[in-house]
Chain A
Amino acid sequence: MDFNLSSEHKMVQRMVRDFAQKEVAPVIKEWDRKQDMAPFVLPRMAELGILGVCIPVRYGGQGMDYITLGLVCEELEAIDSTLRVVMSVHMGLCCLGIFQLGTEEQKHEHLIPLARGEKIGAYGLTEPGVGSDPANISSTARLERDEYIINGEKMWISLATKAHTVLWFARTAPKGEIPHEGITAFILDTSLAGVTRGDIHGKLGVRAGSTGWINCQDVRLPMGNRLGEEGEGFKIAMSCLDNGRYTVGSGAVGLIRACIEASVSYANERHAFGRPISRFQLIQQKIAKMAQSYEAARLLNLQAGWMKNQGLRNTKETSLAKWFATDASFAAASEAIQVHGAYGYSDEYDVERFLRNARGGIIYEGSSEIQTLIQAGYALGLRDDSPLRCELPGYDPDDWQTGA
C-alpha cells in the first residue's frame, strides 16, 4: 500500500494553495461581508486550468486524476468554502456527469467549453419543496416533436447566476407508483428564452459564493440536450452525487486543516494565567481531536479518490467520507472558535466564517441524516448498488493526457 502522493499531486497542491492564499485569502472577508462572489474568482480559476482539472485533455481538461481533484478541493476550502463549492457543482456534479454519461457529441459540445472554463456548470435537482426526497421533484419536460418543453423551479442552486450549463432534472412521465421512474436528465443552456434566475442572500455561510434559484417557463430544449435515456434521470442524479460528495468531503478536510492551523497559531500566541494557552490540557484536547479527525477524514476521502481512479463503484465509501468529514469540520470549527474565545466569535479572525461555512456541508449534497441512512442501509444489507449503464471512467494517465 503506497500512501505517497506523486510529485504531480504535490505540484498541483502547491499551485492551488498559492493561488488561494495569495489571491483570495487577502480579500475573502470583504466579499463574505458583501455576500457576493469576487468577480475575479471564476475567470482566474479558469485561466489556471483548475476548472478542468480531472477531465481528459482531449475534452479540454488537464488530464489529472481524481485524487488531484480531492487535493484541489482541500486546498481551496482551507481558504474559503465558496472556492470549493465551485469545484463541487462545476466539476463534481456537472462536468463529471457529462463526462460519465454524455454522448461523444454532447462531450464535444458541452464538456469541452466547461473543462476549458469558458463556460460554468451547475446542477439543478433540489426544488423549493424537495430536498432529501428528490424522487418527488415536480419540474416537467414535455416532448413536442423534436424539442422538450421545460417547466419548473430549482432552488438552492450553487452558481445559479453564474452558470451557462445546468444539469437539469425534470419529470418526463407523471408520478407513478415508483416516483423516481419518470425522471430524466437534461443539459440546460441558461441563455435560452424562458430561463430566469437570481441569487439568495441572507445565508448563514458560503456568503462569498453564488447560491440561488433558476426558473424555467416553457423553455424549448433540443432533444439532443437530453442526458442519458428517458426515465434514467434519478440514477444519473444519484451517480453525479457520488462525485459531488467526494468534492464536499475533500473540501471539509481542508476546512479541518484550516481550523487546526488557526487554533495552533492562536493557542501559541495567546497567554492566560502566565502561559500560552496551548500549554493547557483542555485546549490541547480540542486540537488533538481536530488532528485526529483531519487524518481520518483525509484517509477516507483519499480512499474514495483512489477507488474512482481504479474505476470502482464508490457510493458507500464516498458517502462515508463526506458524512464523516463534514460533521468533523463543523465540530472542528466550533472548537476552533472556543480556542479563540471571544475573538473567535468576531470576524476579526477566520474561524467564525469557518463555522458558518461548515454548517452548509452537513446539509447539502445529502444531509448527514441521509448519509446515516445510506450507511445503515449498507451495514444492514438493505441497500445494494444497482449497476449503472455507464460507470464513471477510471483514471488512465496515458489516455487522459493525450491531446485531441
Chain B
Amino acid sequence: MNIVVCVKQAPDTAATVTVQDGKVSWGDAPLVLNPWDEYAVEQALLTKEEHGGKITAISLGPEDAKEALKTALAMGVDEAILVSDPAFAGADTLVASKVLAAAISKVEAVDLIFFGRSAVDSDSGVLGAQVARRLGWPSLSLVAAVNNLSPEGGTIEVERMIDEGRQIVKGSLPVVVSVVKGINEPRYPSFMGIRKASRAEIPLWTAVDLGLTAVPSPAMTWPEIFAPLKIETKCEFIEGETPVVIAEKLADRLMEEKVI
C-alpha cells in the first residue's frame, strides 16, 4: 500500500500562548509535531505493519517544519517531503488543500491518506475533507477505529466518532481518513529512527515543483486575534451526611445557578 500521512508543525501544547499586537506568540517554547497528527502517523505505521507498503509524510509549512517531519521519520515513516514556498504563506485550508492535493498527486499511486483530526493551533479540522474533495476521493473523518481494510478488494470499513456514538462506514480506496485521539497509542520515536531522521535529506517542493502556476489567495483571513478574557473560577465543595443528601444539595445548587 502507498500511504501518505499529512502532518503539521505546531507549538507545544505545554507552551504559554500569548497575543501581542494581534500576533500569537508561544515564547521560546519548542515547535513539535501536532499532537493529533501523532495518531495519524501511528495509524499509518500500524497499517503498513499489517499490509506492507510505504509511508510518505508530507508537511506544508516553513523551512523549520522539517523538525515535525523528522519526528515522523523517527517514529518510522519511510520518506518525508516538505512543501514550502513564500507564495503559501498565510494559506487558509482552501489554499492548503489545493497545495497538498497537488503534492499528493505527485506521489506515486497513493491508496490511503491519513490526517490528524485537526491542528492544535488553527484547529479548523476540515483539511482532510477538503483534500479528499480536491482529489475526488471519499473522505472518512473523525475515525476512531479501522475495522477492515482490504487493499486487494479496495475497501475500507471504519468507525466514526459522532455525537450520538459510533457510526460504521464503508468506503472504497483510495480514501482520505482523518483520525481522532484514542484510535491508537502513538509510539515514541526509536533511537534507530532518530538516527535515520537526523541524517535524512528532506526534499523541498515549491509551487513550481507542484505545477501550481497561480496560488489562490486565502478566502479566510484572521483580521483580529485576542486572548480570551481570564475567567475567575471558584471551587465549592458540596458536603453532606450521605450521598443522597450531597446529591440533593448539588442538584439545588445547579438549579440555583441555572445550569440545569
Q: Mark A residues whose CB is within 8 Å of B.
A: 6-8, 10-12, 14-15, 18-19, 48-49, 53, 62-64, 401
Contact = CB atoms under 8 A, between A and B. Distances in A.
> Is the contact region of chain B dominated by helix, strand, or loop, or is it mixed?
helix
Contacts of A62: 191-192, 195
A305 B195 CA distance: 19
A8 B189 contact: no
Interface in B180-221: 188-192, 194-195, 197-198
Residue of A14, A18, A401 with highest tally of chain B CB at under 10 A: A14
A391 B23 CA distance: 54
Interface residues on B, range: 10 to 19
B198 A19 contact: no
A8 B188 contact: no
Interface string B63-94: 00001001100100000000000000000000
Contacts of B198: 6-8, 11
Interface string B221-240: 00000000000000000000
21 contacts: A6-B198, A7-B67, A7-B70, A7-B198, A8-B194, A8-B198, A11-B70, A11-B74, A11-B194, A11-B197, A14-B189, A15-B189, A19-B188, A48-B191, A49-B191, A53-B191, A62-B191, A63-B191, A63-B195, A64-B191, A64-B195
Contacts of A6: 198
A12 B191 contact: yes
B189 A11 contact: yes
Contacts of A401: 195
A250 B67 CA distance: 26
A48 B67 contact: no
Contacts of B190: 48-49
A64 B189 CA distance: 14
Contacts, number: 42
A57 B32 CA distance: 28
B57 to A, nearest CB: 15
A202 B30 CA distance: 41
Contacts of A64: 191, 195
Nearest to A15: B188
Interface string B133-145: 0000000000000
Contacts of B70: 7, 11
Given A8-B194, A401-B195, 9 more contacts: A6-B198, A8-B195, A11-B74, A11-B189, A11-B194, A14-B32, A49-B191, A49-B192, A64-B195
Nearest to A11: B194
Contacts of A10: 30
B188 A48 contact: yes
A64 B71 CA distance: 17
Contacts of A63: 191, 195
Residue of B67, B74, B194 with highest tally of chain A CB at under 10 A: B194
Listed from nearest, the 10 A-B pairs whose CB atoms lie closest are A62-B191, A8-B198, A49-B191, A11-B194, A15-B188, A15-B189, A7-B198, A11-B74, A401-B195, A8-B194
